[in-house]
């Protein structure tokens, strides 16, 4: 053991020793095993248990303080939380990582081996779910009272593997052998109702009342995941609901001899929290999905009200002062009619008071403009599943149209049709976006441009009705996970150059800009990048058997697979480079490794074809001697938070190439820039703000702008023209139809070509191709200048301090939530 010299080191030594003893204690008393025979799993669990002693202390203190001070709290309602692993995150946030590493080393255990024992908590699809995870980290770090509410899915996002290049999905079982971070809270179980019918009754005074006779009752069991703030601040809670059959309901069926029926109902009730819907930005439209949404909203509202009543009894007047609820997209919008139902039907509040209260409580974040992601539910389905709620929605809509729309646009039926929460047609639909705007006091988009488009293109009339309702909060990412924990080498350099305060004050990174021209700092920065790349090269070899040159440019596109994100634009450019090499054996380019990570929604055919094409083309290129290592293509299987943590620190180039106007913000773009990658990107989402921060010398912008995209669509876009006028485009698209990449099976990769020609190329891949290829050429020439590149990489890290999720949270606090921090 190291000698303790300073008081600080002595304290560290003491904690290390204590931690060691606690780990051993838990190995004995919690795991029932011993140091000489414990598996890595057991060591990991024992260490988690030792860490939890501190986590639970923090949790108790935080909850007691919030209760005593009767704080106003934020309630984040989200169907998704993409948490990843919590082991090293919790250690870092508790300031215990180094001690734990030392303690374990003294016990002969490598901390990295223990980290690998943990399954990712993948209760989300992509950016929206990961944003929720970053936000709850920042809320705890900034000492804001907050609870995250969501669903305790038994199976998170599917695991991806490839079979002959095609995506195979397998279930994810993140808690098969129990998860050490969660606590079941049977004392806070809730019961919720679905189905049935509504009866109109009259009380003794002759007042009409609606009584919902539910067809089924379901139990919600809460599981709490402590959310540890950085540096001993608050420990908040993520409360996730698991569905179970209600005991009381099943009893009847059981007693009347229906043992089998009772068992079946159990299974049906448990189905609700069984699986996460694997669709990113598409509206599934399925009954079970609506029930999921209602289940967690109803459980969460009851939980909030229970806590409120403990302090305030039946006096509802302080409710809006104490409670603010953020709707993470429209997925939890059914919370609005649910709160109305509770207030009007259960608490006997009159409609106007109830509605006034609701409108002070809810705020809504829009995360996408894609039409296929804007949720609409068939009225028919609502009537079946939530018969009382559809009545309430009708009443909200009736008053909205009469008291707002008809006042501003008297007699304008077209306006009414457009703004109605109920969409007319053969199959009438409930528009959840409209409901969210009408029921919320604030509506925000997630990047400047996106918020503008929400106002100008999505809800212009709503802006006319309520100009002050709309605002912007640009997304952010937590620098604790996305720099400190995932890139320890760079973190150490930053500690030396800008001081150790940057994880909670990311703007401090701008001091690094002073060293951007300093050859020594350039060398250190690039040496770190090189080491991270060497680590990644090993990981790639392990996972894919592909050898890559760690000195090549690492060019990374990691995100869900979607046409609008344009992985196929990247692929067409790779094909163009390959073709240039074959046509000119001396083709001069800096060696480049193109790395992809992406899951496709299981039902998204073209997305899966794109994965297949990338894999087949990778196979051919990687094994073609003529390429002489100038080009490699790698598709990493099972992209997830844990893999992102290995890829991001090793990236030289960050691909952010969505069609302008389609990517609301993006957050991977922020993580990659923060770790010193140079972006190749369109003027879309937060790329625009990244470009403003880092300056045009340090980002390669290309492609049509939002206005140009609109103009092109308006004037009539003909992708065929690009195909016929650009020989390189024609050659690579035609190549896809041959059997060059799929010997003996011509046409296997033709889906991409068809979507771009006959399919009309809705995302303007061909229109942006030439400009993209030029931007890539620019990257190539930039990279040849070693010092110049180092400067760009350093300035990316230095100048993206704006994109910490701490800043996003402070923006929400001042623009929307109006919270006060509560020191623990």
Question: What residues numbered 456-475 form the site for ligand GL7, per CB under 6 A?
Answer: 475
The two structure tokens encoding residue 626: 């003529």
Candidate segments 285-293, 632-640, 661-669, 804-812, binder of ligand GL7 by CB under 6 A: 661-669
Size of the site for ligand GL7 (CB under 6 A): 18
Distance of CA 436 to the CA centre of its chain: 20
Angle at CA of residue 51, ends 46 and 52, nearest 5°: 95
Q: Please, how many CA atoms are within 13 Å of residue 677, restricted to the half-sphere of its CB?
A: 30
User: Angle at Cα 627 formed by Cα 624 and Cα 630, nearest 5°?
Assistant: 135
Question: What is the DSSP secondary structure assignment for residue 150, as one 8-state letter?
Answer: E
CB of 473 to ligand GL7, least distance (A): 10
From residue 121, alpha-carbon distances to 81, 156, 293, 365 in Å are: 8, 7, 20, 24
Toward ligand GL7, which CB reaches closer, 126 or 156? 126
Annotation says 101 is catalytic: no
Q: In sequence order, what are the beta bridge partners of 700?
A: 680
Q: How far is the CB of 126 from ligand GL7 (least distance, A)?
A: 4
Complete DSSP assignment for 486-524: T-HHHHHHHHHHH-TTGGG-GGGGGGGGGGTT-HHHHHH
Active-site residue, selected from the candidate residues 388, 559, 646, 662: 559
Q: Is 503 in the site for ligand GL7 (CB under 6 A)?
A: no
Binding mask 679-718 for ligand GL7 (x = CB under 6 A): ------x---------------------------------
Q: Which member of 497, 568, 671, 792 is catalytic?
A: 671
Bridge partners, residue 239, by sequence: 149, 224
Closest CA to 627 of 582, 594, 593: 582
Question: Dihedrals φ, ψ of 793, to 5°?
Answer: -65, -45
What is the C-alpha separation between 126 and 106, in angstroms, rounded? 38
Quick check: is 560 catalytic? yes
Tokens of 406: 């008809």
Comparing CB distances to ligand GL7, the nearer of 127 and 439 is: 127
Region binding ligand GL7 by CB under 6 A among candidate stretches 96-104, 592-600, 631-639, 659-667: 659-667
Q: Which of 58, 84, 127, 180 binds ligand GL7 (CB under 6 A)?
A: 127
Question: Is 626 annotated as catalytic?
Answer: no
Kindly state whether residue 816 participates in binding ligand GL7, applying the rule CB under 6 A. Answer: no
User: How crowded is residue 69: how many other Cβ atoms within 10 Å of its Cβ?
Assistant: 12
- For ligand GL7, which residue of 118, 137, 154, 281 counts as binding (CB under 6 A)? 281
| Region from 620-628, 643-651, 657-665, 712-720 binding ligand GL7, contact rule CB under 6 A | 657-665
Considering only the stretches 125-133, 427-435, 791-799, 804-812, report the one whose residues sit in contact with ligand GL7 under the rule CB under 6 A: 125-133
**Which one of 373, 454, 473, 552 is in contact with ligand GL7 (CB under 6 A)?**
373
Q: Does 368 bind ligand GL7 (CB under 6 A)?
A: yes
Q: Pick between residue 370 and residue 590 the one whose CB is nearest to ligand GL7.
A: 370
User: Per CB under 6 A, does 366 bind ligand GL7?
Assistant: no
Considering only 265, 280, 555, 693, the residue that binds ligand GL7 (CB under 6 A) is: 280
The residue annotated as part of the active site, out of 75, 560, 753, 807, is 560
Among 292, 654, 665, 776, binds ligand GL7 (CB under 6 A): 665
Asked if 125 interacts with ligand GL7 (CB under 6 A), we say yes
Residues of 112-139 as b/e, b for ≥16 C-beta within 10 angstroms? eebeebbbbbbbbbbbbbbbbbbbbbbb
First and final C-alpha spacing in the chain: 34
* Interaction of residue 391 with ligand GL7, rule CB under 6 A: no
- The CA angle 215-220-225, to the nearest 5 degrees, is 160
- Least separation in angstroms between residue 544's CB and ligand GL7 is 26
DSSP E strands: which ranges in 118-234?
121-123, 146-151, 159-163, 166-170, 183-184, 190-194, 197-202, 208-213, 216-228
CB 458 within 8 Å of CB 364: no
Q: What is the distance between the alpha carbons of residues 137 and 478, in angstroms, rounded to a whole number? A: 7
Per annotation, catalytic residue among 367, 434, 529, 573:
367
Whether 671 is catalytic: yes
Q: Which residue's CB atom is positioned nearest to ligand GL7?
A: 127
Interaction of residue 220 with ligand GL7, rule CB under 6 A: no
Q: Which one of 63-71, 511-519, 664-672, 745-753 is the stretch in contact with ligand GL7 (CB under 6 A)?
A: 664-672
CB atoms within 10 A of CB 312: 15
| Structure tokens given for 436 | 């969210």
Residue 565 falls in the annotated catalytic set? yes
Please identify, using beta-carbon distances, which residue of 172 and 281 lies nearer to ligand GL7: 281
Asked if residue 273 binds ligand GL7 (CB under 6 A), the reply is no
Of the two residues 126 and 150, which places its CB atom closer to ligand GL7 in the complex?
126
- Contacting positions for ligand GL7 (CB under 6 A): 125-128, 131, 280-281, 367-368, 373, 446, 475, 663-667, 685
| Catalytic residue numbers, as ranges | 367, 559-560, 565, 667, 671
């Amino acid at each position: 053991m190291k000698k303790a010299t300073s008081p600080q080191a002595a304290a560290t030594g003491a904690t290390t020793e204590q931690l060691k003893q606690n780990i051993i204690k838990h190995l004995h008393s919690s795991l029932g095993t011993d140091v000489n025979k414990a598996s890595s799993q057991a060591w990991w669990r024992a260490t988690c248990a030792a860490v939890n002693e501190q986590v639970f202390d923090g949790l108790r203190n935080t909850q007691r303080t919030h209760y005593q001070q009767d704080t106003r709290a934020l309630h984040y309602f989200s169907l998704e939380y993409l948490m990843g692993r919590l082991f090293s995150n919790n250690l870092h946030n508790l300031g215990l990582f180094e001690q734990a590493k030392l303690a374990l080393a003294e016990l002969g255990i490598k901390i990295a081996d223990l980290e690998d024992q943990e399954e990712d908590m993948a209760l989300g699809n992509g950016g929206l779910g990961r944003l929720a995870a970053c936000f709850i980290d920042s809320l705890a770090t900034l000492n804001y009272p907050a609870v995250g509410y969501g669903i305790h899915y038994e199976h998170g996002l599917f695991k991806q593997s490839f079979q002959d290049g095609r995506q195979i999905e397998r279930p994810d079982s993140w808690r098969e052998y129990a998860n050490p971070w969660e606590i079941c809270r049977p004392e806070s179980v809730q019961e919720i109702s679905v189905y049935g019918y509504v009866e109109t009754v009259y009380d003794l005074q002759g007042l009409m009342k609606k009584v919902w006779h539910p067809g089924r009752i379901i139990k919600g069991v809460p599981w709490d995941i402590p959310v540890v703030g950085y540096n001993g601040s608050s420990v908040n809670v993520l409360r996730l609901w698991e569905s179970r059959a209600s005991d009381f309901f099943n009893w009847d069926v059981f007693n009347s001899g229906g043992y089998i029926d009772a068992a079946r109902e159990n299974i049906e009730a448990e189905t609700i929290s069984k699986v996460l819907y694997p669709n990113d930005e598409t509206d599934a439209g399925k009954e079970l999905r609506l029930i999921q949404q209602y289940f967690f909203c109803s459980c969460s509202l009851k939980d909030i009200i229970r806590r409120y009543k403990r302090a305030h009894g039946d006096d509802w007047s302080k409710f809006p002062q104490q409670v603010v609820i953020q709707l993470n997209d429209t997925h939890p919008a059914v919370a609005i009619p649910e709160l109305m139902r509770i207030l009007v039907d259960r608490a006997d509040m009159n409609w106007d008071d109830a509605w006034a209260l609701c409108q002070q409580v809810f705020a809504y974040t829009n995360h996408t403009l894609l039409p296929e992601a804007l949720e609409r539910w068939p009225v028919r389905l609502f009537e079946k599943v939530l018969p009382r709620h559809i009545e309430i929605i009708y009443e909200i809509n009736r008053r909205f149209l009469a008291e707002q729309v008809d006042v501003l646009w008297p007699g304008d039926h077209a306006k009414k049709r457009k703004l109605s929460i109920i969409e007319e047609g053969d199959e009438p639909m409930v528009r959840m976006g409209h409901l969210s705007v009408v029921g919320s006091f604030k509506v925000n988009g997630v990047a400047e441009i996106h918020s503008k488009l929400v106002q100008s293109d999505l809800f212009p009339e709503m802006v006319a009705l309520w100009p002050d309702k709309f605002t912007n909060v640009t997304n952010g990412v937590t620098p604790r996970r996305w720099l400190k924990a995932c890139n320890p080498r760079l973190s150490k350099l930053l500690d030396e150059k800008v001081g150790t305060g940057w994880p909670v004050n990311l703007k401090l990174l701008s001091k690094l800009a002073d060293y951007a021209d300093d050859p020594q700092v350039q060398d250190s920065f690039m040496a770190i990048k090189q080491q991270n790349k060497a680590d990644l090269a090993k990981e790639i070899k392990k996972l894919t058997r592909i050898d890559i040159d760690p000195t090549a440019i690492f060019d990374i596109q990691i995100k869900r697979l979607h046409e609008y994100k344009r992985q196929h634009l990247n692929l067409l450019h790779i094909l163009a480079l390959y073709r240039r090499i074959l046509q000119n054996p001396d083709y001069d380019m800096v060696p480049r490794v193109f790395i992809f990570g992406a899951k496709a929604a299981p039902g998204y055919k073209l997305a899966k074809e794109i994965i297949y094409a990338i894999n087949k083309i990778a196979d051919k290129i990687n094994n073609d001697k003529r390429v002489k290592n100038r080009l490699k293509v790698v598709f990493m299987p099972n992209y997830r938070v844990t893999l992102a943590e290995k890829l991001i620190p090793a990236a030289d180039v960050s691909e952010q190439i969505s069609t302008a106007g389609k990517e609301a913000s993006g957050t991977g773009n922020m993580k990659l820039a923060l770790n010193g990658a140079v972006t190749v990107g369109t003027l879309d989402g937060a790329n625009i703000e990244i470009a403003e921060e880092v300056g045009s010398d340090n980002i390669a912008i290309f492609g049509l702008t939002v206005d140009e995209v609109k103009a092109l669509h308006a004037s009539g876009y003909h992708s065929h023209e690009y195909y016929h006028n650009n020989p390189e485009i024609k050659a690579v698209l035609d190549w896809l139809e041959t059997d060059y990449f799929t010997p003996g099976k011509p046409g296997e990769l033709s889906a991409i070509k068809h979507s771009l020609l006959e399919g009309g190329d809705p995302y303007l891949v061909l229109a942006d191709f030439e400009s993209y290829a030029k931007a890539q050429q620019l990257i190539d020439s930039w990279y040849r200048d070693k010092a110049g590149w180092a400067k760009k990489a350093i300035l990316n890290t230095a100048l993206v301090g704006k994109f910490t999720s701490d800043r996003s949270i402070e923006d929400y606090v001042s623009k929307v939530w109006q919270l006060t921090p509560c020191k623990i």
